């Protein structure tokens, strides 16, 4: 499912969206954990509905205020579903900490509700990324994401990248980084609709609709998309399928991340049997691993 089309953007709406994000940061979250995958029914949801995170046969509904009546309507319209638990927490609790501006290499990553003075890079070479993670995991603070950002800088120092494929894009941060480094065309893919929609929101927030296309779907269904660079910070069960597909070896550069120790060892062996050179490997306390590799 295509989430956006660069030819169909509305500049006035984008400005309005940016102002909305700046003015309305998240505060309290009301989360309802349901058993069952839900049918889409826009008549049920109201302005205080934030999104639905689907995980296998379970759903997490996020609201900005208590919504027992809406949840009851959802349960009635989805026979077989059931409310398992409900939670109330602050947005900072959900994210694990307060979202504040931070810097990784050249990238100055800030929430859109930050003060204007926070948006100025510390040097002319800095690249500013506005990032609203919403309720999706991927605020840029995880070590694998930071290693991917470092790997991206290394790639662009060596070669001009015209096209990129970001599989498991999450909030879209790595796609935004690729575009700001000069990539002309990036396809950002996530199987989860809420993640894809969050990525699209961040693409619009940064005014990068003409260089980044967001799609919702399985990574395996997009691996054949032509690109110079493939980024996959994704579950290893999915990555194992990607590296044996025909489209994998049609790429020039690879950033592969989100790997635990045994998974990294397995991937290292699999890559050694392919015409691919590992340029650098990152290991954080021998737990999380990231690879930068090149064909040839």
Domains of the chain (ranges plus CATH)? 24-95 (3.30.70), 135-295 (3.40.50.150)
pLDDT of amino acid 40: 67
- pLDDT above 70 as % of the chain: 86
In the predicted model, is pLDDT for residue 45 greater than 80? Answer: no
Contact 190, 196 (CB under 8 A): yes
Mean pLDDT of the chain: 88
Q: Looking at the whole model, is its pTM more than 0.75?
A: yes
Residues 268-287 have pLDDT tens digits of 999 999 999 999 999 988 89
Cα–Cα distance measured from residue 52 to residue 32, given in angstroms and rounded to the nearest whole number: 9
pLDDT digits (tens, 9 = 90+) for 56-106: 899 999 999 999 999 999 999 899 999 999 999 999 889 888 888 999 999
Helix, strand, coil % over all residues of the chain, rounded to 5: 35, 30, 40
Stated as kind and residue range, the H or E segment containing 262 is helix 261-272
- Contacts for 162 with CB less than 8 Å, ≥ 6 apart: 183, 184, 185, 228
| Residue 23: pLDDT band with limits 50, 70, 90 | very low
pLDDT in tens, 237-267: 999 999 999 999 999 999 999 999 999 999 9
Q: How far apart are CA 176 and CA 166, in angstroms?
A: 10
């Amino acid at each position: 499912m295509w989430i956006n089309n660069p030819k169909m953007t509305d500049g006035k709406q984008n400005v309005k969206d940016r102002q909305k994000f700046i003015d309305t940061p998240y505060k309290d979250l009301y989360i309802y954990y349901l058993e069952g995958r839900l049918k889409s029914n826009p008549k049920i949801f109201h302005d205080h509905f934030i999104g639905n995170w689907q995980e296998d046969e379970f759903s997490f509904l996020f609201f900005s205020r208590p919504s027992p009546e809406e949840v009851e309507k959802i349960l009635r319209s989805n026979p077989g579903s059931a409310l398992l638990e409900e939670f109330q927490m602050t947005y900072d609790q959900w994210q694990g900490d307060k979202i504040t501006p931070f810097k990784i290499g050249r990238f100055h990553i800030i929430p859109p509700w930050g003060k204007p003075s926070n948006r100025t890079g510390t040097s002319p070479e800095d690249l500013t990324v506005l990032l609203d993670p919403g309720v999706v995991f991927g605020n840029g603070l995880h070590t694998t994401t930071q290693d991917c950002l470092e790997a991206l800088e290394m790639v662009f120092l060596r070669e001009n990248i015209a096209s990129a494929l970001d599989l498991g894009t999450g909030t879209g941060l790595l796609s935004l980084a690729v575009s700001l480094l000069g990539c002309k065309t990036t396809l950002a893919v996530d199987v989860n609709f809420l993640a894809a929609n969050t990525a699209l929101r961040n693409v619009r927030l940064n005014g990068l609709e003409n260089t980044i296309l967001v799609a919702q779907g399985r990574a395996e269904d997009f691996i054949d998309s032509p690109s110079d660079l493939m980024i996959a910070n994704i579950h290893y069960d999915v990555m194992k399928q990607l590296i044996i597909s025909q489209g994998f070896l049609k790429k020039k550069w690879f950033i592969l991340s989100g790997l635990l120790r045994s998974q990294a060892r397995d991937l290292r062996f699999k890559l050694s049997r392919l015409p691919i050179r590992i340029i650098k490997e990152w290991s954080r306390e021998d737990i999380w691993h990231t690879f930068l590799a090149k064909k040839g």
